[in-house]
């Protein structure tokens, strides 16, 4: 691919210069006037569009500020397109919930693709539109969305990128011009593109967690709880390893890490069922406080900090073996590696 000293790093995301009528697009509000709101179409290199105030809402407008704000990014429906004059009229009130969902999902994928393409353009000093013409837009046509092609590139870049070519004109030995097909991008640009795609799009494991309470008042209750925890962990699969930990009696967490959110939730529900069945056979009880769900890094960090704090508290009183209060703390020292029995769950 040819290089230029100051490559153009501005380009629309899609091959069409203008959106189609009755298509939802993502816009950013630039200015709110007396009769219309001026917006930029983010997927089309920020070309200008306009929303009449009468197209903001189906309901009577009491305050424009409650419906739209400068700087806000949101979907809008394309009503009219004048390609010659560059006029685009849009509407918010024509949007359905499905339109909003489709637009947000498409924009999220397109924004990631665009970010990768722009980074390659800037770091490799290649023209962004040229990169789209020979790589991005052909992949949109073939895969429906370049995002799907990029996902395939993570594991098998050659199968996606090798078929892409560009035409190169040369003067043959006889002095006549000949056209030959060459790779769409040079090896160094290809390597940069693959490297960036893998860095940004390699799937990261999700953390799935459920919060439960478990009690057992039967003799040897600690042992029965340990057995129930083992039953929960026995549900593990290679893709979804299950771990169960004590937080502070009677609170426990069951968690897994997986690339497949739905599969992770399914496995944790199976683990909870196995744990429930085991503890109830010994007249114990399991209560789900929070069902299986994906947790953020922040939630995971807060749990780790809570457990570390409780560990420090336990360490401070661990030397007080004769304390009656400690004897009645219940299941506070339960873990699957320990075989000692410290009490009965409260």
| pLDDT on residue 61 | 63
Axis crossing angle, helix 146-155 with helix 97-124, rounded to the nearest 10 = 60
Give the N- to C-terminal CA distance of the chain in Å, as an integer.
Answer: 70
Q: Is 244 exposed, middle or buried (0-12, 13-18, 19+ CB in 10 A)?
A: buried
Q: How far is 343 from 333, CA to CA, in rounded Å? A: 9
| pLDDT on residue 4 | 43
| pLDDT on residue 65 | 66
pLDDT in tens, 83-128: 888 889 999 999 999 999 999 999 999 999 999 999 999 999 999 9
| pLDDT on residue 189 | 96
| pLDDT on residue 317 | 62
CATH superfamily of 104-201: Translation initiation factor 2; subunit 1; domain 2 (1.10.150.190)
Do 165 and 184 meet the contact criterion of CB atoms below 8 Å apart?
A: yes
Per-residue burial over 175-200, b = 16 or more CB atoms within 10 Å of its CB, e = otherwise: eeeeeeeebbbeeebbebbbebbeee
Which residue matches tokens 């993502």? Answer: 26
Q: Where are the beta strands (DSSP E) in the chain?
A: 24-32, 36-41, 47-52, 73-82, 87-91, 165-171, 177-183, 206-215, 243-248, 251-258, 285-295
Residues of the chain with pLDDT under 70: 1-6, 58-66, 314, 316-346
| pLDDT on residue 203 | 82
CATH superfamily of 206-316: EIF_2_alpha (3.30.70.1130)
| pLDDT on residue 319 | 52
| pLDDT on residue 336 | 55
Q: What one-character-per-residue DSSP string does 216-278 give? A: --STTHHHHHHHHHHHHHTT--SSS--EEEEEETTEEEEEEEES-HHHHHHHHHHHHHHHHHH
Q: How far is 157 from 201, CA to CA, in rounded Å? A: 13
Alpha carbon 286 to its chain's center: 32
**DSSP-based three-state secondary structure for 119:** helix
CA neighbor of 264 nearest in space, from 231, 242, 289, 284: 242
pLDDT in tens, 7-26: 788 899 999 999 999 999 99
- For the full predicted model, state whether its pTM sits above 0.75: no
| pLDDT on residue 204 | 82
| pLDDT on residue 323 | 43
Q: How far is 199 from 111, CA to CA, in rounded Å? A: 16
**Domain definitions of the chain by residue range:** 104-201, 206-316
251-258 sheet: strands from edge to edge: 243-248, 251-258, 206-215, 285-295
304: phi then psi, degrees, rounded to nearest 5? -60, -40
């Amino acid at each position: 691919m040819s290089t230029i000293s100051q490559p153009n790093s501005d380009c629309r995301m899609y091959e069409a210069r203008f959106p189609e009528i009755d298509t939802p697009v993502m816009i950013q509000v630039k200015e709110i006037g007396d009769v219309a709101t001026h917006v930029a179409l983010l997927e089309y290199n920020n070309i200008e569009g306009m929303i009449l105030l009468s197209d903001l809402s189906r309901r009577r407008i009491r305050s424009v500020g409650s419906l739209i704000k400068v700087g806000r990014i949101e979907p809008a429906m394309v009503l009219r397109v004048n390609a010659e004059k560059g006029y685009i009229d849009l509407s918010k009130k024509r949007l359905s919930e499905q339109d909003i969902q489709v637009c947000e999902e498409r924009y999220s994928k397109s924004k990631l693709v665009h970010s990768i393409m722009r980074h390659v353009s800037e770091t490799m000093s290649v023209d962004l539109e040229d990169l789209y013409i020979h790589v991005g837009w052909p992949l949109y046509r073939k895969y429906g969305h370049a995002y799907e092609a990029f996902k395939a590139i993570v594991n098998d870049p050659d199968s996606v990128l090798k078929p892409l070519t560009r035409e190169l004109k040369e003067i043959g030995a006889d002095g006549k011009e000949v056209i030959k097909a060459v790779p769409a991008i040079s090896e160094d640009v290809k390597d940069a593109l693959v490297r960036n795609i893998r860095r940004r799009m390699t799937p990261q494991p999700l953390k799935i967690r459920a919060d439960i309470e478990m009690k057992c008042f039967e003799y040897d209750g600690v042992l029965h709880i340990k057995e129930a925890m083992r039953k929960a962990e026995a549900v593990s699969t290679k893709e979804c390893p299950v771990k169960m930990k004590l937080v502070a009696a009677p609170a426990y967490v069951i968690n897994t890490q997986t690339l497949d959110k739905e599969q992770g939730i399914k496995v944790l529900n199976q683990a909870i069922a196995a744990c429930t069945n085991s503890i109830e056979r010994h007249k114990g009880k399991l209560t789900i406080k929070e069902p299986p769900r994906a947790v953020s890094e922040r939630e995971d960090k807060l749990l780790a900090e809570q457990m570390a704090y409780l560990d420090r508290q336990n360490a401070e009183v661990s030397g007080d073996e004769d304390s009656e209060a400690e004897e009645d703390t219940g299941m506070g020292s339960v873990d699957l590696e320990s075989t000692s029995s410290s009490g009965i769950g409260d």
